[in-house]
Structure 1
Amino acid sequence: MSEITQPRILLIGTGDTKADELKFMQDCIAKAGGKTIMMDISVLGDPPYRPEHDKHAVAAAAQTTIADIAASGDENSAMSLMATGAVNLARDLAAREAIDGVIAIGGTMGTDLALDVAQALPLGLPKLIVSTVAFSHLIPPDRVAADLMMILWAGGLYGLNGTCTAVLSQACGAIVGAAKSATRPRNARPVVAITSLGKSCLRYMVELKPQLEKRGYEVVVFHTTGMGGRAMESIAAQRGFVAVLDLSLQEVANQLTGSVVNSGADRLENAGKAGIPQIVAPGAIDMVDFPAWLSVPTDLAQRPFHAHNRLLASATSRPVDRRRIAMAVADKLSRAKAPVAFVLPAGGVQQWDRAGEALHDPEGLSAFVDAMRSAIQPPVELHEIKDHINSPAFNETVLRIFDRWVEAGIVPAGQTTVAA
């Protein structure tokens, strides 16, 4: 792929209220070697410049008019309609390869719209949001695109100042640089996703990854500490994998027990909706994660506890919660539109649940295994093994299912030779 010398950057913002900021960003993008394509998402006013895609074009892309949007009821409904138009316009520009990157600025309103735009664009097209609520818990994980960049818009509430221009100039340089150097996914080999944690907790990826690569697949491993699972779900929703080995599910448990360390309510659902075959296992599903810098949640205060580091800690969920989690997992898998196999390691689901380890909880493990046995129903396959998830037997079971599916044509065969 030839190097992009002057990347075309789609710049999104409300030109009626943020004209000075947007013009400053246009200048920064030009100085960095890019070309700006402006999209105005104003509703009531007009910018003091002529954008390439004005508010009337955005409204038309939502199959309505700016007058109807302004009269739609309130600012929330108006910006939701503008978001629909902005998504459709941006998606069309990307499909026609008319843009090389996207940057948007906003407070909560502009960020809300920009998150939709970012999710609609393909993986590998650089996307950056400058937001007054970047990194905030106001943004749920299921709104975050897999490769989204964000920067906090410090001092960005009203007008230009030295603090906010420092941020805006960095952001513009970042998006131009990303657009110049980005390599889009080539997918020379079929792509398989694996979810896991660090090797100290779940070790199967050490064996499974090279084994799948020998079979001719590109393997992408996702770290399931909240946003890793979100990235996997985002790519799965775009049918970016030929198979998903979703073997680490504590993000599901986290979401169901109210932990902030989760990937959204649709975790464990998008591959099934997209018709992607799945091999699933309950890796680390007994843990409830929480920020280590906060007090232990009251309902977990008497449970087995382990601090991973100064950011992340875990306690084991109660047996009653594990039964509820098992039912939820089974329900999600029952709705899949492609084959699903569930591997149930009755000997344990993560390294720290072994005898003598911090999270050893045989009562809870037994409750979960019993609940899972009864919850999984055909056509979902249930493969119970007596061994631990970190055992060779677990890896052998997963590979045996995978190879059978390849032979049956459920999973496309790997590409063992790749053209130069």
Structure 2
Amino acid sequence: MSDKTILVVGTYDTKNDELEYMVERVQSLGGGTLSMDISVLGDPEKPTDYSKHDVAEAGGSSIQAAIDSGDENHAMQIMAKGASTLAGKLFEEGKFDGVVILGGTMGTDAALDICQALPLGVPKYVVSTVSFSPLIEPQRLSADIQMILWAGGLYGLNSVCKSSLSQAAGAVLGAARAVERPTNDRPMVGMTSLGSSCLKYMKKLKPELEKRGFEVAIFHATGMGGMAYESIAREGRFACVMDFALPELGNLLAGSVINGGDDRMMNAGAAGIPQIVAPGCLDLIDFAGWQDIPAQYQDRPFHAHNRLIKSSGLNAEERRETAREMAKRLKSSDTPAHVILTNGGIEEWDREGQEAHDPEAFAEFCDEMRKQMTDPILFTELDCHINDQAFVDTVLKVFDGWIADGTVKAGGN
């Protein structure tokens, strides 16, 4: 008997040999397989475990409806919906332990939906001709998706594409064997931050929260980290969130690609998770290191963090806009949201003498925060910097109060 079972998904009418090769590779390594066909027009050379008809029906449609649509995009969306629904159901029933999906642009489009339908901790491998491509919108990537470029894989097997396919087969089976899936042993606090050269509170908060019986997951707020944080919040997995690094919100408003998605700061409230929030690093707009700084930002305070990321300061009106948007999103929450403003600074580089020091613009931001953070938002203003001990102490005071009154479920020891 095999120890782990891998779901192998793809369009068997056009990629039968490649998909069967991956099935064979997984089985040769001692793994079990289930096959799922998401084709529309053609048929596999031999029956798959889940046919295209099973897939379409799982999505509330049929293969004939997909064909009758006369549009390949619409047809594949029918199959993507069905495959996502069916994969989710099969996983809940314990039928497989990891998934590998093969595709060009059509198959990859469906693969992204399938991966988002599966929980965090389920190994998800996509072998695609467009892996890592700017064609793939970051918001469509699930928190723990893995992608392998399908080199030389447009049509038929060859030694080049076998290299990609065999790696994927071994990787997904190895991941299924090795993974330690998230547990519910302790309630979890989700926290956003940046590296400790910019924001330092996590170093002191994490051990204190762990003493109180909570697990702490800290997310790097540089776009993909924010998306992972939001996806887990959407699932209601956090007992409380401490959203203290918000550059992704400012980036979203400014049009930077380094953002956490349109729903940044929306999912915790929608899922009934209490929020403690601070506007850490909400004074900068981030750019990819390889980009030229747009002309309208070239006269701003500037910080080059490394070759991957660099930042320019937001002006006074842009900062006021971020405060307004922050309030708007928090006021949609169904659970308590407590905002802490440190009027002495919100990231290490805004201190006097540092690159991002802009006291006039920061003063206007603080003024707008005071105006916007009204009921039902709870609001505390501190005469300190976000990296000072006073901020940590205030966060813990709010958190302990919420434990005492039952807003946050207490952790075990």
Paired with 1:108 and 1:67, the residues of 2 have a C-alpha distance of 22
Say which of 275, 283, 293 aligns to 1:296.
Answer: 293
Say which of 61, 85, 88 aligns to 1:88.
Answer: 85
Q: Does 1:344 align with 2:341?
A: yes
Paired with 2:111 and 2:365, the residues of 1 have a C-alpha distance of 40
The answer on whether the counterparts of 2:55 and 2:83 sit within 8 Å (CA) in structure 1 is: yes
Aligned to 2:250: 253
Q: Does 1:271 align with 2:268?
A: yes
Aligned to 2:123: 126
Aligned to 1:316: 313
User: 1:78: how far off?
Assistant: 1.2
Q: Which aligned pairs between 1:270-419 and structure 2 lie closer than 5 A?
A: 270-416=267-413
Amino acid aligned to 2:341:
L
2:312 is paired with a residue whose SS is strand
Paired with 1:366 and 1:137, the residues of 2 have a C-alpha distance of 38
Q: Which aligned pairs between 1:164-175 and structure 2 lie closer than 5 A?
A: 164-175=161-172
Paired with 1:360 and 1:65, the residues of 2 have a C-alpha distance of 60
Paired with 1:366 and 1:207, the residues of 2 have a C-alpha distance of 27
Q: Which aligned pairs between 1:129-208 and structure 2 lie closer than 5 A?
A: 129-208=126-205
Amino acid aligned to 1:42:
S
1:105 is paired with a residue whose SS is strand
Aligned to 1:29: 26
Give the aligned CA root-mean-square deviation in angstroms: 1.2
TM-score normalised to structure 2 length: 0.98
User: 1:152: how far off?
Assistant: 1.4
What per-residue deviation string (whole Å, max 9, x for no partner) do you get for residues 146-188 of structure 1?
1111111112222222221111111110000001111111221
The answer on whether the counterparts of 2:2 and 2:32 sit within 8 Å (CA) in structure 1 is: no
Paired with 1:182 and 1:316, the residues of 2 have a C-alpha distance of 41
Paired with 2:330 and 2:134, the residues of 1 have a C-alpha distance of 28
Aligned to 1:65: 62
2:327 is paired with a residue whose SS is helix
The answer on whether the counterparts of 1:195 and 1:248 sit within 8 Å (CA) in structure 2 is: yes
Amino acid aligned to 2:285:
V
Amino acid aligned to 1:324:
E
Q: Does 1:14 align with 2:11?
A: yes
TM-score normalised to structure 1 length: 0.96
Amino acid aligned to 2:168:
A
1:16 is paired with a residue whose SS is helix
The answer on whether the counterparts of 1:124 and 1:183 sit within 8 Å (CA) in structure 2 is: yes
Amino acid aligned to 1:123:
L
User: 1:123: how far off?
Assistant: 1.2
Paired with 1:161 and 1:252, the residues of 2 have a C-alpha distance of 45
The answer on whether the counterparts of 2:341 and 2:381 sit within 8 Å (CA) in structure 1 is: yes
Amino acid aligned to 1:346:
N
Q: Which moved more, 1:169-178 or 1:123-132?
A: 123-132
Say which of 227, 230, 237 aligns to 1:230.
Answer: 227
2:173 is paired with a residue whose SS is helix
Question: How high is the sequence identity, in percent, across the aligned residues?
Answer: 52
User: 1:138: how far off?
Assistant: 2.0
The answer on whether the counterparts of 1:5 and 1:180 sit within 8 Å (CA) in structure 2 is: no
Q: Does 1:78 align with 2:75?
A: yes
Give the paired residue count.
413
User: 1:193: how far off?
Assistant: 0.8
